[in-house]
A and B are shown apart, each in its own frame.
Chain A
Amino acid sequence: MSTTSAISQLRAHKEASKDELIRHFFSLPNESADVKAITLLGFDSMEINAVLTLQDQEDSFAGRLYLFPQYLCFASLDRKSVKFTVPLYTIRRVERLKSRAGIFALSLVVWHGMSIIVQLTSLRHTADLFCNQLREALKVQLQLGRMKTLKVFVKTLYSEVIIPPSSTQADKEREDGSLIKLEDGGDDNATASTEEYLGGLGLTFKFPGDAKKLREASKVKLWAEYFRSHGRHLTLLRYPKCTRLVQVGLPNRLRGELWETLSGSIYLRFANPGLYVRILKENEGKSTMSTEEIEKDLNRSLPEYSAYQSEKGIDTLRRVLTAYSWKNPEVGYCQAMNILVAAILIYMSEEQAFWLLEVLCDRLVPGYYSPSMYGTLLDQRVFEALVQRCLPIIHDHFQEVDVQLSVASLPWFLSLFINSMPMIFAFRVVDCFFAMGPKVLFQVGLAILKINGEKLLQIQDDGGFIHLMREYFASLGDSAHPYSNDPRVRAITNFQELLLISFREFSIITDELIASERRRFRSQIISEIEAFSKRAAVRNLKTMGRFTKDRTGLIYDVLFKAVCDAPQPSLEHESLDANGRPETRIGLQTFKVFLSNVATWARDETIVSNGFQERYDRRVADHDLINRLFYFWDTQDRGTLTFQDLVTGLDGVMFNDLMANIEWFFTLHDKDKDGSITKDEVLQLSESLLFIFRYEIGDGYLASVGRFLTNAFEFGDALLPHGDDEKVPEVAPNQPYLTLATFRMVVLADEVLESFFETDFSASFKLEPIPDDQPATGGFLGDLISNIVTEDSKNIFNKLADGIGKTMGKHKVNYRPSIGKTVPLQEPKMRESIVSPSMRKASSSSNVSQLSASTSTTALGDSASLSPELSTLSLNPAVTSPAYSFPLVQAVTAAIMERTTFAIDEAKDEEGEEDEEDVDLEDGLLEEVDAFLEAHDSGLTGAEAEAAKDLLHAPPMK
């Protein structure tokens, strides 16, 4: 279950912009990480057509080159053959190359000496601009000192250990004149000892699986070769071979580093040195719901792995999980994260795992582990839709026998298969996932179903489905073709077949497709979560008072809307109830919004007519009465209200009869709850009444408040103990002044107030289904507005219509009254004397009330007619108490003048090219690699390729 605020955030979700999508594509951190560089540079990205060539590599690739404030990225035209993300701080030198006329080419030399040649094929002007921007961006990196950090950073990486230092080349190049010159990092390779690089628990506790069977040594060798020619970690260029090496499974010692490289979490680790340790330190000893939940699960995370049977392993796991819960309190901790983190910690250091987790939760599988788990639910819906599209027969069968796909598939996604497949296989799926993104989960999921298609058509229920899947996962290491005569075919395991089918047959499942499917189902999932939360919230109420379930549901809806509309940081809405359930708590600001949608007097509602339309504009009102009500309902003095508080609070007022209402209103103003109110509180109470009556038509209500005050003071004073001197004694601010009984008498002495407390007050609380839009009635543009969907465009439309209306002289704004009854102005004498003559002699205010009506009328102007009582309000010395100012009471007269009469009806696949050189490698490892791929070439042909290759040997321009 999730709280209203969590859901309101979901609602507020914005789809990623085009820019963000590109950043995602290149695994870049969010733009906010670049802010410093952006402000120094004054641009956020630029792109240009380019051709990429690499030393010692046959092929050139045409594509697009992107410059971000801190990164240079490239993607081949097909967006999959080749791509790279090179942080600018790794670039040591940039040179214009001298070559055939008309070709504009740059050589980018990175810190370890590799040179990347890009030929800028856009118009000359654009190319020049691009170069300038690049130069500026590189300068900023120098300024920020990033290039210095690099030297220390690379020592944390295992690839530096397996690559013999190639300092000769780097040294030579340093001698050349360079655009940007930096201390040489290359020489330090030799000192990067085996001790320094970061690694996971596997280094101490052994890696899962049989290293020999996994062909560790060959894999490391292949990667070392790849690193030498295509860069490593921060500078890794992703050529087709890279993907293939990923698909055959990463070697244990390189796995952690490659995960962070391929997922892009390495950029975050680079950019935030020490943050992980700092977070832990700053929050040391603190305990939250998350830390408690983490503690419960520490011994329950891959318990069969030896590291997690030791203090060391458990502590490591605890630190990463808690650090993340501090970093992202909105996600906190979700079961499944423990298994995931326990798994990645076998291959990565704590800090690496921390940043990988960040990328995972933030970008790769957003919302999977959030309190509402909307991401998980959403992807299950997407998966189901993809099954329907790609495997319709299976889908139909499942429908027919009423089997839900997600009973099996949800844990696949949530634990990235770690909880479903034997570990060594799950890790290979995870390898592909970090390299190729979330689509991999879908591709593998579909392939599993496809492979088991025939058996799936036999199953009759959820249980059968789960059993079948469990059996299949247990057989992943078995031969896929046990009866084949060809030993090579026999050697193919079920798992290899699974990956083959995943990437070959489901290559149509692209990131774009996943993104658009997620968009398609998003709002549906959110409404389902909303409906579920509502049901749970209503169910979990201790009492609904006298409300029905439906009416309680309406209160929930209003609360939900208030949380969505309130301009407040969301976390203030969250806390845990006695059972550890997250619950919604609202503060005063949100309460005002809430109340404005419940009580007619808690909003300023105007009816605007401009000739085209008539609409209600609702604004949240602000008054002491509302604050008072908030604290009145906050019976636990927590400064916040829960759904239960609101239900109980409303129950306490909406079902009241006359006497109950009088008492309720009295108690509301009796701050110390001692059964009587002070003189100031009498004034506050009148203020409240005036506030409620502020938009009523005619002056009946105002007059009755006037009478109320007069009578209350008369009575109150009369009851005060006083001496012989006939003078009104001084009243201390906190001295009890009016008891409930007296208050009741004063109210009942006035017909208007009596009828107000009898029915109108309770009725001013209205629980109505929340209209999504205010109804637009009449006018020739009426239909049009109902077609305008967004709040923004509606506002624009309204403004426009108002503007036109004004010029046509048809624009009119009227306040809508809260009660909407016309109350006759009462004759002053009718029930004047509730105070007996004997009491009256003590009263001072009685003299003032004799003032003539005509005096006040002239003082107020001629448009309003006032009762004598009202005029006493501003004249009565008791009212103008020096300690308090009561703006409403004073403004009453002015308000009357402005009032206009009111009369309105109740409205209502991975591909790549062959790689001959490697075929002779031991174990035929690359045969497996190649098995994944069909020949593919998005490289250049003919003359273009020639020209590109020439660049490799082109001397720098002078």
Chain B
Amino acid sequence: MADANDASGSADKHVQVKLVLLGEAAVGKSSVVMRFVNNEFQANKEPTIGAAFLTQKCRLEDRVLRYEIWDTAGQERFHSLAPMYYRNAQAAVVVYDVTKAASLEKAKSWVKELQRQANPNIVIALAGNKVDLVTPAPAAETSFAESEDEPDDATATPGEISASAGSHGPESLRQVPKDEAQAYATEAGLLFFETSAKTGEGVVEIFTEIAKKIPIEYILSSTRGAAGRNGAGGARGTAAGGDVNLDGAGKKAGDACNC
């Protein structure tokens, strides 16, 4: 379903979704995005400075979504920059590392911040990344990034791998039980997945589920005119006019300072 090239013929149905990734440093935010956008994994990814920007198109039924992804820096001191990136975001993926308990705590505080500070209709997904580290490798070569880079496998892989998740060996690295995170996500009203940027598990699913949950009709109805005229840029062009956003003009002032 991740489809970067085939957008033709449906320009009038393009929906732009601004999505922001948040989470502690080195939990794998950039890696998740790289997996989603380029379907590749790079060990030793450099830390993100400020934020990185990527886009990816995504087909949902008869419609094409264009994700505008802001991948932010994880270190605590970059925190004050985050509002710059999550303002007007319609979706957020908050990432933690299943092998680091503290990273879930940080994720929770991001969720709290988003729920209070960001766009009130924002769709939030929680991602427990690096699940490959706690999953017995189906074959020895999984530990090498390069071997994962087969094209077009994004839709195929995830199901099988998660099915094989065992409880011996690597499980000992796990610090966040899946149940616990799931329970929290349910309580807080978040989408939840365990993912691996390395194997690709769960990555596409996150973005698909977000796409399903986003009030697309609403975005479409408020931006169609502009989108038809000049494609991708149009949606924001209208928004910049001052009146339109997902939540409507009235709420704009409110999300700037909500406490």
Contacts and interface: CB of A to CB of B under 8 A. Distances in A.
Interface stretch (A90-98, A316-324, A574-582, A930-938): A574-582
A407 B112 contact: no
B186 to A, nearest CB: 21
A900 interface: no
Contacts of A299: 43-44
B8 to A, nearest CB: 20
B26 A414 contact: no
Interface in A512-564: 529, 531-533, 535-536, 538-540, 549, 553
Given A336-B47, A462-B68, A579-B105, 7 more contacts: A297-B25, A335-B73, A401-B236, A410-B50, A419-B49, A531-B257, A535-B259
B51 interface: yes
B77 A578 contact: no
Nearest to B68: A463
A302 interface: yes
A334 B75 contact: yes
Given A296-B26, A407-B85, A578 B233 contact: no
Given A404-B84, A582-B76, A459 B233 contact: yes
7 contacts: A293-B75, A297-B47, A299-B43, A303-B43, A371-B77, A372-B77, A462-B68
A402 B240 CA distance: 6
Given A299-B44, A539-B259, A532 B80 contact: yes
A417 to B, nearest CB: 11
Nearest to B73: A335
A414 B51 CA distance: 12
Q: Tell me which of B47, B53, B77, B117 has the highest count of chain A C-beta atoms within 10 A of its own C-beta.
A: B77
Interface residues of A, number: 56
B230 interface: yes
The 4 closest A-B pairs by CB, nearest first: A460-B233, A461-B236, A303-B44, A466-B53
A579 B102 contact: yes
A128 to B, nearest CB: 54
A406 B84 contact: yes
A233 to B, nearest CB: 32
A400 interface: yes
A917 to B, nearest CB: 44
Interface in A913-953: none
Contact of A339 (B49, B109, B237, B259): B49
B52 to A, nearest CB: 8
B3 interface: no
B123 to A, nearest CB: 19
B109 A540 contact: yes
Query: Secondary structure at chain B's binding surface: helix, strand, loop or mixed?
Result: helix
Interface string B68-83: 1000011111111101
Contacts of B240: 400-402, 460-461
Contacts of B75: 293, 334-335
Given A461-B236, A578-B105, A411 B49 contact: yes
A96 to B, nearest CB: 55
A402 B236 contact: yes
A377 B55 contact: no
B239 interface: yes
| Size class of the B contact interface (CB-based, 8 Å) | 35 or more
B194 to A, nearest CB: 21
B46 interface: yes
Interface in A289-345: 293, 296-297, 299-303, 334-336, 338-339
Contacts of B77: 1-2, 334, 369-373
A411 B24 CA distance: 19
Interface string B197-219: 00000000000000000000000
A464 B75 CA distance: 26
A258 to B, nearest CB: 26
A415 B75 CA distance: 15
Contacts of A578: 102, 105
B106 interface: yes
Interface string B120-143: 000000000000000000000000
A464 B77 CA distance: 27
Contacts of A459: 233
B251 interface: no
B23 interface: no
A774 to B, nearest CB: 29
Interface in B74-128: 74-81, 83-85, 102, 105-106, 109, 112-113, 116-117
A338 B48 CA distance: 11
